[in-house]
Structures are given as structure tokens and as C-alpha cells.
């Protein structure tokens, strides 16, 4: 591995001279392929469903090449290689390996027993998943809890809302309590934000969101349940429930290993230069983390009985779908993030100027909404970093000084508003895919946004008043 830098100079001589492209010099034209991928995800299932479901990987690859070929022609072949390598090594590979590990391991845990999808049980499962998300990550909690929830509601006629609120709570808001819950907060932890700062100051936003959403869900689910309940269903729900049994318990230990591997990569600072791969730095601790995640995935596949995975109707289709789509997203998003990092000097300077006052100080309400809205359509982790750096980038000053509410705004926006779209957070798309495999007719991209806008935007408006206008906490 130590010879990789030399090898890269031999194979790609222009790479050594390729500097990171300047976001200030880029036009919005370079963001068009990224926008086209998002439009394809949104409109494909609506207008050409058959073609999209069979060829979404090829369509995504086409838009990706539409970015890479002109980019390499303008900035040089080396810059193109560097962009792809950066997306793969520093973003995509860690991202997809973590998802693969959590998806595979959680798919090896089977909850047996009779579960009836009553409003009380559904609310309880959502609450449990929300709590779990902050300690095992939104992806881990979502993959562990979605199957029992779908199983409990298999007889329900109207169950789309159950999955939608699951995405709201378990796949997003539940991850806001600790740095382990969601990647943006973990990045903040790596930048110097105290673990307990996040726990202390994100507690009220997460608690308020959870209580409000669970209450709204219970009301909606109760009304649907009352309208569709038949005498047969009443008899079924009144039957004595079987004792719950859990198979594949060893996978809980493997899940703990995943959490440990992620923490290791953040806390371990080895005296090692790491590796240069085609112009991208691959730190030793990240390599060790990724190897551990891959090993844990393989171990789970080997030790889990086939009947357990069969009981979960486990297959790799959802992770394959996410892997293909997000590979294109991670590559084509690079110029968009570069433009944002350029601040007011970039093509989106007018957007950046909206979040600062005349003195250059952050406007907290705008930080909350802009970081949130961008996180709904861009990857929330780099969006968090962009706004973290725009606020000064000094963790101690952000935690204790007059910029305290700016850090809170970025933390809340990047985590909470990932629930606004399917692509706002990776578990969203995976939950959608699993639900559709189980026969749940999930809403389209815009159909889901109708749910999120109606339910979540008023909640976020309430947060704006409580935390950034009145500053009650």
C-alpha cells in the first residue's frame, strides 16, 4: 500500500499536478447532472416506472458520466480521477460499508411471535426505535425495527402512514441525541464538539419532536384502525399473543462491534501517515474501521441460520439500489459542495449571504432552515461541515460563546430535515425499498414530500420559535 503514491504517478502522471478545483470558479452548470439524478429519482417511478425499476443503475451512470466526461475535458484527466477517488475513498466506501454491515447484521435478527398492529403497539415500536437510533445509529435502528413493524401490520389495509412516521422518527429525528446517532453529529464530535454537549442540548429538540410526532401518529393510526377494523380483525387482536422470541441474538454483539468500529475511527489517532490512493488520503484508522465492518458483515452471514434470514425475507436488493444511486450522487455532488464551500464568492453566494447579517454574524433561524433544506437534498454530513465552518469552525467557541445557538441550529437542521425527502438520509431510501418489497404501496418522491411538508414543517416552525427566536433553551 505504501507504494500506491508512486504507482499513481506512473499510471496517472497528470494526477500529481491536479489541485482541488476552486468552487468560486464553477458555474451552476456543473451541478446539472446532480440535479438530473435527483429529478430521475423523483420522476422516474411516476412517469416511466417499468424502465426506471429495471434500469435505474444505468440511468444514474449516464448522468454521472455526463458530469465526469466534460469535467475531465475542462479540468484534466487527473482532476477527474481525483474527484472520483475522493468520492469513493473518503465518502462512498465508508458510507456503503457501514450501511452494508448494519443492513446485513440487523437482517440476521428475527423477532418471532404474534404482533398485532394496534395503534398502541405501533406507537410503542416507533418510540423504541427512536430511542435506539441515538445509540446504534439511525441506519442500525431502522434496519432492526422496520421488519417487526411491517410484520405487525401485515393485515392492516392502510399502513403507508406507519412507514412514513417510521422514517420521520427512527430514520432521522431519533439520531439527534448523541454523536453515534447520525453522521453530521459524529463529524461534529470529531471536530471537537463534546459528546455530552450534544446529549444535553439536543435532548429537548429530540424530546419535543418525538412527543409531538408520536401524538400525531397515534391520532392518525387510531382513526385509520377504527375505520378498517372488522370483526375478524378484532378477534385476531384479542387472541392471546404468543411470547416474543428473538432468533439470531449473536448479531446484537456484532451490532455492538459496528458501533465500536465507528467510535474507534474517531477516537484512535495512530502515529501513521495513512495511504494516498489516487490523490485521496485514506487514514489508517479508517482502513481498520472499514475492514472490521466488512469482517463483521461476513461473520453475520456465516453464523446466522438461513431460516432466520428467510423469516425476514432478507435479500440484498435494497442495499444494491442504495449503492447504485448514491454512488452517482456522491460523485456528482462534488461541484455543488465546492460551490457552497466557496461561500459568497461562489455561484450560490446569494444563498450563503442570506444566512449572515451585515456584520457577518450567523442568523440562527436561517442557519437552521438552510442547513436543513440543503440536508434534505444533499448529503447531510458535508452540509453540516459547510455550515460548521461558515460559523467559524472553532468547536469551543461554538459550544460556549455567543455562537452557541448557531451550532444548535446546524445540528438540528442537518439531522431533523433529512426526513423531508427520501434522499435526505440513507435509511429513508432503504426503509422505502424494504416496505415496497413487503407489498406496502409507498408514496412517490413528491407524495412522500406532501406528508413531510404537512407534518414536519409546522413542527420545525415551532422549533424555530422555541430555540432561535425565544431561545427558551
Query: DSSP string of 373-414?
Result: HHHHHS-HHHHHHHHHHHTTS-HHHHHHSTTHHHHHHHHHHH
- The pTM for the full model equals 0.85
Coil/strand/helix, residue 232:
helix
The answer to whether 444 touches 422, Cβ cutoff 8 Å, is: no
- Per-residue pLDDT for 5 more than 60? no
Burial class (CB in 10 A: 0-12, 13-18, 19+), 229: middle
pLDDT at 3 over 50: no
State how far the Cα of 473 lies from the Cα of 471, in Å rounded to an integer. Answer: 5
d(CA 172, CA 175) in angstroms, rounded, equals 6
- By DSSP bridging, strand 245-247 and strand 280-282 are unpaired
Radius of gyration of the chain (CA): 23
Q: What is the mean pLDDT of residues 47-56?
A: 90
Cα dihedral 356→361→365→366 (10° resolution): 20
Distance, in Å, from the CA atom of 370 to the CA atom of 352, rounded to the nearest integer, reads 9
Asked if the model's pLDDT at residue 426 lies above 90, the reply is no
**Lowest mean pLDDT, pick from 3-7, 8-12, 406-410:** 8-12
Tens of pLDDT, residue by residue over 284-317, are: 999 999 999 999 999 999 999 999 999 888 889 8
The domain ranges of the chain are 29-75+114-241+315-469
Q: How confident is the model at residue 234 (pLDDT cuts 50, 70, 90)?
A: low
More confident residue, 367 or 280: 367
DSSP annotation string for 65-112:
HHHHHHHHHHH-HHHHHHHHHHIIIIIIHHHHHHHHHHHHHHTT-EEE
Could you tell me the three cell numbers for 39? Answer: 429529478
User: So what's the pLDDT on residue 131?
Assistant: 96
Which residues have C-beta within 8 Å of that of residue 421, sequence separation ≥ 6? 376, 377, 428, 445, 448, 449, 452
State yes or no: pLDDT of 14 exceeds 90. Answer: no
Do 104 and 297 form a contact (C-beta atoms < 8 A)?
Answer: yes
In this predicted structure, what is the pLDDT of residue 12? 40
Q: Residue 231's pLDDT band (boundaries 50, 70, 90)?
A: low
φ, ψ of residue 246 to 5 degrees: the values are -120, 125
Taking residue 56's Cβ as centre, other Cβ atoms within 10 Å add up to 19
Q: What is the pLDDT of residue 29?
A: 94
Burial degree of 396 (CB within 10 A; 0-12, 13-18, 19+): exposed
Which residue has 425565544 as its cell numbers?
470
The span from the CA of 100 to the CA of 140, in Å, is: 10
Q: What is the pLDDT, as a whole number, of residue 221?
A: 96
Per-residue pLDDT tens over the stretch 105-159: 988 998 777 788 899 999 999 999 999 999 888 988 998 899 899 989 988 889 9
**Predicted confidence (pLDDT) per residue in 170-190, tens digit:** 999 999 999 989 989 988 987
Return the biggest CA–CA distance within the chain. Answer: 75
Q: Would you call 290 helix, strand, or coil by DSSP?
A: helix
Cβ atoms < 10 Å from Cβ of 266: 16
pLDDT at 473: 87
Taking 90 as the threshold, does the pLDDT of residue 2 lie above it? no
Residue 449 vs residues 151, 168, 377: alpha-carbon distances, Å? 25, 11, 12
Q: Which residue has the higher pLDDT, 417 or 264?
A: 417
The contacts of residue 411 (CB under 8 Å, 6+ apart) are 176, 184, 185, 188, 198, 201, 202, 384
Across the chain, mean pLDDT equals: 88
pLDDT > 50? residue 13: no
**CA–CA gap between residue 148 and residue 431 (Å, rounded):** 12
- The answer to whether residues 379 and 330 touch, using CB atoms and an 8 Å cutoff, is yes
Query: pLDDT category, 459, cuts 50, 70, 90?
Result: very high
Q: Which residue(s) pair with 275 in the sheet? A: 282
Grid cell listed for 131: 430511542
- pLDDT attached to residue 421: 94
DSSP sequence for 37-63: HHHHHHHHHHHSHHHHHHHHHHHHHHH
Whether the predicted pLDDT of 442 surpasses 80: yes
Whether the per-residue pLDDT at 33 is higher than 70: the answer is yes
What integer is the mean pLDDT of 276-286? 90
d(CA 472, CA 385): 26
- 133: its cell numbers: 437510533
* Whether residue 7 has pLDDT greater than 60: no
Q: Count the helices and strands in the chain (H runs, E runs).
A: 22, 4
| Integer angstrom CA distances of residue 133 from 288, 312, 337, 410 | 24, 20, 27, 19
**Residue 246 Cα distances to 60, 81, 239, 240, angstroms:** 39, 47, 21, 18
Cβ proximity of 160 and 241 under 8 Å: no
Instruction: Look at residue 185 in the predicted model and tell me its pLDDT.
Output: 92
Cell of 116: 398485532
Q: What is the pLDDT of residue 230?
A: 65
Region 82-92 average pLDDT: 90
Range of lowest pLDDT (196-205, 328-337, 408-417, 443-452): 328-337
Amino acid at each position: 500500500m505504501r507504494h500506491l503514491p508512486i504507482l499513481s504517478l506512473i499510471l496517472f502522471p497528470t494526477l500529481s499536478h491536479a489541485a482541488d478545483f476552486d468552487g468560486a470558479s464553477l458555474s451552476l452548470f456543473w451541478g446539472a447532472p446532480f440535479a438530473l439524478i435527483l429529478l430521475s429519482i423523483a420522476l422516474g417511478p411516476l412517469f416511466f416506472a417499468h424502465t426506471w425499476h429495471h434500469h435505474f443503475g444505468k440511468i444514474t451512470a449516464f448522468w454521472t458520466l455526463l458530469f465526469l466526461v466534460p469535467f475531465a475535458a475542462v479540468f484534466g484527466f487527473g482532476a477527474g480521477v481525483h474527484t472520483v477517488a475522493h468520492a469513493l475513498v473518503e465518502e462512498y466506501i465508508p458510507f456503503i460499508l457501514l450501511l452494508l454491515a448494519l443492513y446485513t447484521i440487523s437482517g440476521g435478527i428475527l423477532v418471532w411471535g404474534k404482533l398485532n398492529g394496534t395503534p398502541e403497539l405501533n406507537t410503542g415500536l416507533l418510540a423504541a426505535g427512536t430511542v435506539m437510533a441515538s445509540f446504534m445509529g439511525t441506519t442500525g435502528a431502522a434496519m432492526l425495527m422496520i421488519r417487526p413493524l411491517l410484520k405487525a401490520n401485515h393485515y392492516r389495509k392502510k399502513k403507508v402512514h406507519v412507514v412514513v412516521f417510521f422514517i420521520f422518527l427512527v430514520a432521522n429525528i431519533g439520531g439527534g441525541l448523541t454523536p453515534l446517532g447520525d453522521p453530521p453529529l459524529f463529524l461534529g464530535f470529531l471536530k471537537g464538539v463534546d459528546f455530552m454537549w450534544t446529549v444535553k442540548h439536543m435532548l429537548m429538540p429530540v424530546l419535543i419532536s418525538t412527543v409531538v410526532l408520536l401524538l400525531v401518529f397515534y391520532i392518525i393510526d387510531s382513526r385509520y384502525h377504527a375505520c378498517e377494523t372488522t370483526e375478524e380483525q378484532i378477534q385476531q387482536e384479542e387472541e392471546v399473543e404468543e411470547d416474543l422470541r428473538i432468533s439470531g441474538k449473536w448479531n446484537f454483539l456484532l451490532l455492538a462491534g459496528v458501533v465500536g468500529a465507528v467510535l474507534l475511527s474517531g477516537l484512535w489517532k495512530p502515529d501513521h501517515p495513512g495511504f494516498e490512493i489516487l490523490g485521496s488520503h485514506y487514514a489508517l484508522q479508517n482502513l481498520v474501521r472499514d475492514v472490521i465492518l466488512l469482517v463483521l458483515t461476513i461473520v453475520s452471514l456465516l453464523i446466522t441460520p438461513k431460516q432466520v434470514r428467510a423469516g425476514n425475507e432478507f435479500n440484498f436488493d435494497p442495499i444494491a439500489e442504495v449503492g447504485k444511486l448514491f454512488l452517482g450522487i456522491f460523485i456528482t455532488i462534488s461541484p455543488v459542495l465546492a460551490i457552497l464551500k466557496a461561500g459568497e464568492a461562489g455561484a450560490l453566494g446569494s444563498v450563503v449571504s442570506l444566512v449572515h447579517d451585515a456584520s457577518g454574524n450567523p442568523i440562527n433561524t436561517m442557519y437552521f432552515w438552510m442547513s436543513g433544506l440543503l440536508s434534505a437534498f444533499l448529503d447531510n454530513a458535508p452540509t453540516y461541515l459547510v455550515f460548521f465552518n461558515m460559523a467559524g469552525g472553532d468547536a469551543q467557541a461554538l459550544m460556549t460563546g455567543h455562537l452557541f445557538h448557531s451550532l444548535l441550529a446546524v445540528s438540528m437542521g442537518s439531522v431533523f430535515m433529512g426526513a423531508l425527502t427520501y434522499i435526505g438520509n440513507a435509511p429513508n431510501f432503504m426503509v422505502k425499498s424494504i416496505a415496497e418489497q413487503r407489498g406496502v404501496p409507498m408514496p412517490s418522491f413528491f407524495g412522500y414530500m406532501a406528508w413531510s411538508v404537512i407534518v414536519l414543517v409546522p413542527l420545525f416552525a415551532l422549533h424555530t420559535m422555541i430555540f432561535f427566536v425565544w431561545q427558551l433553551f
